C-alpha cells in the first residue's frame, strides 16, 4: 500500500500547512486576513469582487512553485504512475499553499444559483426549507420564462464536496439550464453542511453538534423536507430526481427510513456514479481524505468541530485563487491524479466552478463512506463500534440499509473510468433495488468521478439521462 501512502500525503501536507495558521481554526477569531475574507463568512460576496486582479507580486512569488510543479505533475500523469508523486511535489505544493495562505487574496465570489440563472436569462427563485431537526437549507428554482407550461418538476441534490451550484458550472451547457430550456421546472437542493445549508434554528455551524451527521441525515431529514416543500409548491407528485454519487445514498436511506412516504412523490430517478455499495472503491482521493481526517482528529476535532473544513476562511480562498485564478492547470493535473486521467475536465470554467468548490463535509460523513470500502454488497448505518452501537442501536453491529425499500424506477449511469464509485458496485446496487426500481443501467465510458461537474463534452454526459427522462414522460407518466 506504499502508493496510497504517498498519495495521501498531498492533502495531508496542505492541511498541515493551513493547520498552523491561526485563522484556520475558528471563523470568528480575528486574524490578519479579516478585511479580505469578510465577505466569505458573512453575506455572500457577489460577481465583481471575484474579478479583483491577482497582485503581480503574488504571481511572482508563486510562479517558481507552479513552474516546478506543473511539469512534475504532468509527467506523473503521463506515466500514469502514482508512486511518482515525489517528495518534490509534496514539498513544493505545501510551500505553494503556505505562500498563498499568507497572502491577501481576492475573495471567492460564491455563486447563488438563482442569481446566476437570472444572468443567463432564466427565472430564478430562492427559498429556505427547515428540516424536522432544525437545519435551514437553501432551495433554488430555475425555469425558462418562455415555456407556457412545464413538462415535469426535476429536483437535483448536490454532489459530494459540492453544493447547489454543482449543476450550473458549465454556463449555458449546464445540466440545470439544459433542462430549463426544455421546459422542465428545475429545483436545486441543499444537504446540511454544504454551502446554503449552514444555518440552523439553534445550532451554530461552528459547533460539533452541527457537524455530527452523515448521509443518513441527508436521507432521513434533508431530502424529505425539500421534496415535500417542492411538491407543496408545484402541486407535483410525479417529480423526477436527478443527481450524482451521494444523492443515491440519501435516496436509499430515505426509502429505508420512510418507505413510500416521500418516495411516492417521485416518478423516476437518474443518478450518475451512485454511492450505494462502495466495496470496491479505490480512490486515492478518499484515502487522502481519510488521512486528513485522522490528522484533524488527532489535532483536536473539537476545535475543528467535526468539519472537514475545505470552506474555512483560509482554505477556500487558497483553493479558489490557485485553481480558479492563478494556475488552473495545476489543479487540473491534481484532480486527474486523484480521480483518474481524463480529457473531460474543462479548466476554462475553473474560475467559475471553484468559487463554490471544494465544499466542506462532516468528518463523520467521510468516515461513513470509508466504512464500506472492502465490504462487497454492504450498506449499513454508521458503525460506532461495539459499545456505542449497543448504546445507540441496542445491537453490536449497525443495521443494514434495505435497498429493496427503493421502488421508484431508477436509471443508473456508471462512469467508465471512475475509481470512487466503480461500475461493479453500481451494478450490484442497482440489482439490490426492488424489481420496479431497476429501470435502466448504462456505462458512460469516457467519464470519471469528476466528469459530471466540469465536463468538456456536456452532451455526451448529460444527454443520455435527459433522453431517458423524456422517454419516461410517456413510459412512466
Ligand X SMILES: *[C@@H]1O[C@H](CO)[C@@H](O)[C@H](O)[C@H]1NC(C)=O
Which residues contact ligand X (rule: CB under 6 A)? 68, 79, 81, 83-84, 88, 91-92, 95, 126-128, 136, 138, 199, 225, 228-229, 232, 394
Neighbours of 96 (CB within 10 A): 25
Nearer to ligand X by Cβ, of 128 and 436: the residue is 128
We find the least distance from the C-beta atom of residue 84 to ligand X, in angstroms, to be 4
Q: H or E stretch including 442?
A: strand 438-444
Nearer to ligand X by Cβ, of 125 and 294: the residue is 125
Nearer to ligand X by Cβ, of 228 and 457: the residue is 228
244 close to 159: Cβ distance less than 8 angstroms: yes
DSSP code at position 178: H
**Closest to 247 (Cα-Cα) out of 474, 470, 446, 465:** 465
We find the least distance from the C-beta atom of residue 153 to ligand X, in angstroms, to be 15
We find the least distance from the C-beta atom of residue 390 to ligand X, in angstroms, to be 9
373 close to 286: Cβ distance less than 8 angstroms: yes
Nearer to ligand X by Cβ, of 99 and 147: the residue is 99
Relative orientation angle of helices 87-102 and 2-19, to the nearest 10 degrees = 20
Nearer to ligand X by Cβ, of 213 and 412: the residue is 213
Nearer to ligand X by Cβ, of 282 and 467: the residue is 282
Position with the least CB separation from ligand X: 199
**Closest to 415 (Cα-Cα) out of 445, 377, 373, 380:** 445
We find the least distance from the C-beta atom of residue 91 to ligand X, in angstroms, to be 3
We find the least distance from the C-beta atom of residue 191 to ligand X, in angstroms, to be 14
**How many Å apart are CA 198 and CA 10, to the nearest integer?**
27
**How many Å apart are CA 433 and CA 88, to the nearest integer?**
47
135 close to 221: Cβ distance less than 8 angstroms: yes
We find the least distance from the C-beta atom of residue 87 to ligand X, in angstroms, to be 8
We find the least distance from the C-beta atom of residue 92 to ligand X, in angstroms, to be 4
Q: Cβ contacts of residue 204 below 8 Å, gap of 6+?
A: 210
Q: Cβ contacts of residue 365 below 8 Å, gap of 6+?
A: 193, 213, 214, 215
Nearer to ligand X by Cβ, of 225 and 403: the residue is 225
Burial class (CB in 10 A: 0-12, 13-18, 19+), 283: buried
DSSP letters for 157-180: PPPTT--TTGGGTTGGGSHHHHHH
C-alpha gyration radius of the chain: 21
We find the least distance from the C-beta atom of residue 315 to ligand X, in angstroms, to be 20
Report helix, strand or coil for 51: helix
Nearer to ligand X by Cβ, of 229 and 368: the residue is 229
Amino acid at each position: 500500500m506504499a502508493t496510497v501512502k504517498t498519495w495521501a500525503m498531498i492533502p495531508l501536507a496542505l492541511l498541515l500547512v493551513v493547520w498552523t495558521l491561526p485563522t484556520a481554526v475558528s471563523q470568528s477569531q480575528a486574524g490578519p486576513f479579516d478585511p479580505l475574507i469578510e465577505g466569505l463568512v458573512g453575506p455572500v460576496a457577489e460577481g465583481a469582487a471575484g474579478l479583483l486582479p491577482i497582485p503581480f507580486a503574488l504571481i511572482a512569488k508563486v510562479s517558481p512553485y507552479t513552474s516546478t510543479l506543473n511539469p512534475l505533475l504532468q509527467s506523473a500523469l503521463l506515466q500514469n504512475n502514482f508512486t511518482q508523486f515525489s517528495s518534490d511535489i509534496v514539498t513544493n505544493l505545501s510551500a505553494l499553499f503556505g505562500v498563498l495562505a499568507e497572502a491577501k487574496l481576492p475573495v471567492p465570489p460564491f455563486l447563488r444559483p438563482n442569481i446566476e440563472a437570472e444572468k443567463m436569462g432564466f427565472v430564478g427563485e430562492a427559498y429556505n426549507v427547515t428540516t424536522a431537526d432544525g437545519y435551514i437549507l437553501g432551495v433554488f428554482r430555475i425555469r425558462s420564462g418562455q415555456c407556457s407550461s412545464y413538462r415535469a418538476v426535476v429536483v437535483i441534490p448536490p454532489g459530494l464536496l459540492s453544493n447547489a451550484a454543482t449543476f450550473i458550472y458549465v454556463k449555458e451547457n449546464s445540466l440545470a439550464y439544459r433542462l430549463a430550456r426544455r421546459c422542465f421546472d428545475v429545483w436545486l437542493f441543499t444537504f446540511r453542511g454544504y454551502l446554503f445549508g449552514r444555518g440552523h434554528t439553534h445550532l451554530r455551524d461552528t459547533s460539533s453538534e452541527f457537524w455530527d451527521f452523515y448521509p443518513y441525515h441527508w436521507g432521513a431529514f434533508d431530502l424529505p423536507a425539500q421534496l415535500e416543500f417542492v411538491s407543496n409548491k408545484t402541486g407535483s407528485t410525479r417529480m423526477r430526481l436527478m443527481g450524482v454519487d451521494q444523492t443515491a445514498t440519501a435516496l436509499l436511506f430515505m426509502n429505508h427510513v420512510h418507505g413510500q412516504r416521500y418516495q411516492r412523490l417521485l416518478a423516476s430517478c437518474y443518478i450518475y456514479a451512485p454511492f450505494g455499495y462502495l466495496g470496491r472503491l479505490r480512490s486515492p482521493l478518499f484515502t487522502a481524505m481519510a488521512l486528513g481526517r485522522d490528522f484533524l482528529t488527532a489535532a483536536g476535532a473539537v476545535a475543528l468541530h467535526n468539519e472537514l473544513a475545505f470552506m474555512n476562511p483560509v482554505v477556500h480562498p487558497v483553493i479558489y485563487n490557485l485553481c480558479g485564478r492563478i494556475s488552473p492547470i495545476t489543479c487540473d493535473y491534481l484532480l486527474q491524479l486523484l480521480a483518474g486521467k481524463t480529457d473531460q475536465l474543462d479548466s476554462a470554467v475553473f474560475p467559475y466552478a471553484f468559487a463554490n468548490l471544494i465544499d466542506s463535509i462532516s468528518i463523520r460523513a467521510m468516515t461513513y463512506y470509508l466504512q464500506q470500502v472492502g465490504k462487497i454488497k454492504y450498506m449499513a448505518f454508521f458503525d460506532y463500534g461495539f459499545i456505542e452501537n449497543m448504546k445507540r442501536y441496542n445491537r453490536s453491529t449497525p443495521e443494514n440499509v434495505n435497498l429493496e425499500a427503493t421502488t421508484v424506477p431508477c436509471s443508473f449511469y456508471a462512469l467508465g473510468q471512475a475509481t470512487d464509485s466503480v461500475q461493479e458496485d453500481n451494478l450490484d446496487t442497482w440489482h439490490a433495488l426492488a424489481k420496479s426500481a431497476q429501470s435502466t443501467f448504462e456505462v458512460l465510458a469516457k467519464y470519471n468521478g469528476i466528469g459530471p461537474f466540469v465536463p468538456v463534452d456536456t452532451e455526451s454526459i448529460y444527454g443520455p439521462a435527459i433522453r431517458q427522462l423524456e422517454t419516461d414522460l410517456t413510459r412512466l407518466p
